[in-house]
């Protein structure tokens, strides 16, 4: 199928000779001040930045932070591949350390990667999904989804196998995909069905294919991926049904606070299940 020359979205089947999608046609008409039949609220293309927005996007900041941490690991280790000991020292997610006090690992593990191929694939996905998610949800809702689903993915990894080392941004990336899937499916964004349909199919294929691929390769933390995806679906559905518009900021805060309480309860349950001490502070395993 052909793609729109303006935004790159996939054009519908049998669009012979057509170069611009209906979403871009509508957007350009609105910019010219033309009145169109059955008008809808028009949103700018995902990469078009509003004048009031910061020059640097949050996606770019997260992207840069991941690269900076990876470079620090390379300099500290003298290699592009890192041992488990080095990863733990820099903040990898490991059940006995995390649950017994070092909860900050559920955040720091998202900025660590095990090698060049690992960070390349994750940053490629982050650049695409993150930019789309940030443009549609807004900067702070996007940040909340990213970190909550990343933490949920880390918790799922610990719950599935607490002694397996977990690193990478893929839990949060799957969370972004899940939130977008739920929001597109439930019709949160005022985009033409053609644009939504193509993007939704691409997101579903991305999630299913990568989960399948993760199951084929040993060492892939699919529990983290599933945790991020499921939590993203839940957050995306809640936002779409309860707080679909940017002015519903207070409702979104309530959703995120409730999500934090749910994850705290899950953490207590995991600690009880494995008989690990649930506490805050320095882990006794490092003393």
Domain residue ranges in the chain: 1-42, 58-281
pLDDT in tens, 60-69: 999 999 999 9
> Distance (Å, rounded) from C-alpha 197 to C-alpha 21?
13
pLDDT in tens, 255-267: 999 999 999 888 8
Q: For residue 169, give both structure tokens.
A: 């941004």
Binned at pLDDT 50, 70 and 90, residue 82 comes out as confident
Q: How far apart are the first and last CA of the chain?
A: 59
pTM: 0.78
Average pLDDT in the 57-81 region? 89
Q: What are phi and psi of 139, to 5 degrees?
A: -60, -50
The per-residue pLDDT for 276 is: 66
Give CB contacts under 8 A, 24+ apart, made by 211-218. Answer: none
- The whole-angstrom distance between residue 47's C-alpha and the CA centroid of its chain comes to 17
In sequence order, which ranges of 167-281 are alpha helices (DSSP H)? 170-185, 193-216, 222-242, 249-274
Instruction: Give the other-Cβ count within 10 Å of 241's Cβ.
Output: 13
- Please say whether the structural domain 58-281 has been given the CATH code 1.20.1540.10: yes
pLDDT in tens, 1-56: 556 666 666 555 544 455 666 667 777 777 666 655 444 444 444 445 555 556 78
The closest of 104, 105, 49, 115 to 82, measured between CA atoms, is 115
The closest of 166, 242, 178 to 211, measured between CA atoms, is 178
Q: Which of 3-7, 77-81, 217-221, 251-255 comes out lowest in average pLDDT? A: 3-7
């Amino acid at each position: 199928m052909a793609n729109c020359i303006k935004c790159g979205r996939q054009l519908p089947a049998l669009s012979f000779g057509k170069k611009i999608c209906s979403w871009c046609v509508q957007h350009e008409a609105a910019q010219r001040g033309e009145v169109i039949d059955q008008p809808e609220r028009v949103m700018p293309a995902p990469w078009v930045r509003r004048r009031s927005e910061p020059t640097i996007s949050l996606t770019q900041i997260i992207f840069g932070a991941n690269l900076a941490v990876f470079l620090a690991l390379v300099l500290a280790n003298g290699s592009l591949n890192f041992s488990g000991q080095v990863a733990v020292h820099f903040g990898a997610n490991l059940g006995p350390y995390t649950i017994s006090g070092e909860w900050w690992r559920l955040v720091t593990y998202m900025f660590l990667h095990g090698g060049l191929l690992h960070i390349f694939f994750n940053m490629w996905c982050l650049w695409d999904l993150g930019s789309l998610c940030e443009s549609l949800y807004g900067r702070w809702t996007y940040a909340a989804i990213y970190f909550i689903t990343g933490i949920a993915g880390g918790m799922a990894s610990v719950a599935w196998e607490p002694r397996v080392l977990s690193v990478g941004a893929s839990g949060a990336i799957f969370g972004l995909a899940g939130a977008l899937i739920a929001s597109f499916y439930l019709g949160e964004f005022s985009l033409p069905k053609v644009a939504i349909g193509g993007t939704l199919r691409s997101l579903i294929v991305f999630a299913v294919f990568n989960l399948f691929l993760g199951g084929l390769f040993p060492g892939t933390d699919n529990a983290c991926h599933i945790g991020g995806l499921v939590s993203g679906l839940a957050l995306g559905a809640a936002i779409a049904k309860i707080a679909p518009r940017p002015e519903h900021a207070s409702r979104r805060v309530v959703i995120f606070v409730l999500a934090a309480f749910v994850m705290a309860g899950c953490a207590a349950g995991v600690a009880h299940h494995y008989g690990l001490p649930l506490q805050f502070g320095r882990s006794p395993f490092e003393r």
